[in-house]
Structure 1
Amino acid sequence: MRADGETEYVEYVTARLPALHRTAYLLCGDAHRADDIVQATITALYRHWRRARSVENLDGYVHRILVRKHLDEVRGPWARVRLMFETPDRPASPEASVEDRDTVHRLLGGLTGAQRAVLVLRFACDLSVQEVAAVLNTSTGNVKSHTARGLAAVRRHLDVQQSGIGPAQSGIRSAER
């Protein structure tokens, strides 16, 4: 890679690194795994930088790499290995309170992988329905469906939590949860 291409790469990655890490963390729920996903993403981006820098939507291109690296990790054999019985507490991020961070993590953890990926890309990364569809290589209808179902699940959980009654007492059937 020529020096000017390398400079562009370094500038791009430096500017996007916090957002990439936040997205990876929201997808996987673990800061260390998020670091690994981001590292794999920027390594793949470096290898394909010559082609990547000429695409129309570079952020969408990089998000697609990030989501694929996350999915590769989830599907791999190491995804099932746990070295501890419980995960240790993590320090709160400076921009969110502990309660907010824990609530978002718990709500995202209760969704399917597709719903979680769509909600993270739509609302944390502020991508349009079309951009999310391109990143996940799916239809816009599928993105809308996962968005609606994911938001409905989050709302149900928040409604039950705010009412102070459990799911069994709220009339929510287990199939709906």
Structure 2
Amino acid sequence: MSETKSSQDEEFREYVAARSAALHRAAYLLTGNWATAEDLVQTTLTKTYLAWSRIRTTDSVDAYARRILYNTNASWWRKRSNREKPTEVFEDKVDHSRDFTEHSAVRDAMWRHIAVLPKRQRAVLVLRYYENRTDQQIADILGISVGTVKSQASRALAGMRKRLGTPSAALGLAMEPRKAA
């Protein structure tokens, strides 16, 4: 193996070590399934590696990888209609504390509402609220205009507000009446 190829491989390994966790989080938020997220990240990293000699010296390696991640997810999403249907998610470890239960209920309820959004709206919300990306960054990653980012976010949030209603109704929780002080 040539010295150049070896140094490129080392650079790629360093990139994977530095960015793998963030890619996994984004993939999970897009897919809602850890196994699918892992497959999505592996595909993304494979495609990134194949282009590494071309993109490694640019400032946009992360943007390139994220674009692959979102485009691959969109491609898989289109093909998913005749594939397996996910069932309820069960945690491996159960923590019976009240805080954990409430947190899990909120997280699961929110995910149920995000998961039913159209793919582009879901991607915009994940990038904006989970990855703290600017509208311009989101537009660049998804290959859409900033105006489209704003309209998709607005539509997604409006749809979620409509479905959510009151906080307790949205979570499927019965609220205990508050006692007067």
Shorter chain as denominator, the TM-score bin is 0.7 to 0.9
Once residues 63 and 6 of structure 2 are traced to their aligned partners in structure 1, the CA distance between those partners, rounded to angstroms, is 25
- Compute the RMSD of aligned alpha carbons: 2.4
Which residue number in structure 1 is paired with residue 82 of structure 2?
A: 80
Normalising by structure 2, we get a TM-score of 0.78
Which residue number in structure 2 is paired with residue 11 of structure 1?
A: 14
Q: Given the alignment, which residue of 154, 158, 164 partners 2:160?
A: 154
Q: CA deviation at 1:154?
A: 2.4
CA pair 55-26 structure 1, distance change in 2 beyond 3 A: same
Paired residues of 1:92 and 1:101 also in contact (CA < 8 A): no
Give aligned pairs, total.
Answer: 160
Paired residues of 1:121 and 1:132 also in contact (CA < 8 A): yes
Question: Of the two, which has the highest radius of gyration?
Answer: 2
Normalising by structure 1, we get a TM-score of 0.80
- Long gaps (5+) in structure 1: 166-177
Q: CA deviation at 1:88?
A: 4.7
- Long gaps (5+) in structure 2: 171-181
Once residues 58 and 114 of structure 1 are traced to their aligned partners in structure 2, the CA distance between those partners, rounded to angstroms, is 22
Once residues 62 and 50 of structure 1 are traced to their aligned partners in structure 2, the CA distance between those partners, rounded to angstroms, is 14
CA pair 92-59 structure 1, distance change in 2 beyond 3 A: farther
Q: CA deviation at 1:55?
A: 2.4
Q: Mean Cα displacement is larger for which, 53-62 or 18-27? A: 53-62
Once residues 104 and 164 of structure 1 are traced to their aligned partners in structure 2, the CA distance between those partners, rounded to angstroms, is 12
CA pair 92-149 structure 1, distance change in 2 beyond 3 A: farther
Per-residue CA deviations over 1:57-101 (Å, capped at 9, x if unaligned) read: 22211110100111121123x55222x6x625332799x842233
CA pair 100-54 structure 1, distance change in 2 beyond 3 A: farther
Correspondence 1:120 to 2:126: yes
Q: Percentage identity across aligned positions?
A: 36
Paired residues of 1:21 and 1:34 also in contact (CA < 8 A): yes
Once residues 57 and 98 of structure 1 are traced to their aligned partners in structure 2, the CA distance between those partners, rounded to angstroms, is 35
Paired residues of 2:74 and 2:119 also in contact (CA < 8 A): no
**Aligned residue identity for 2:138:** V
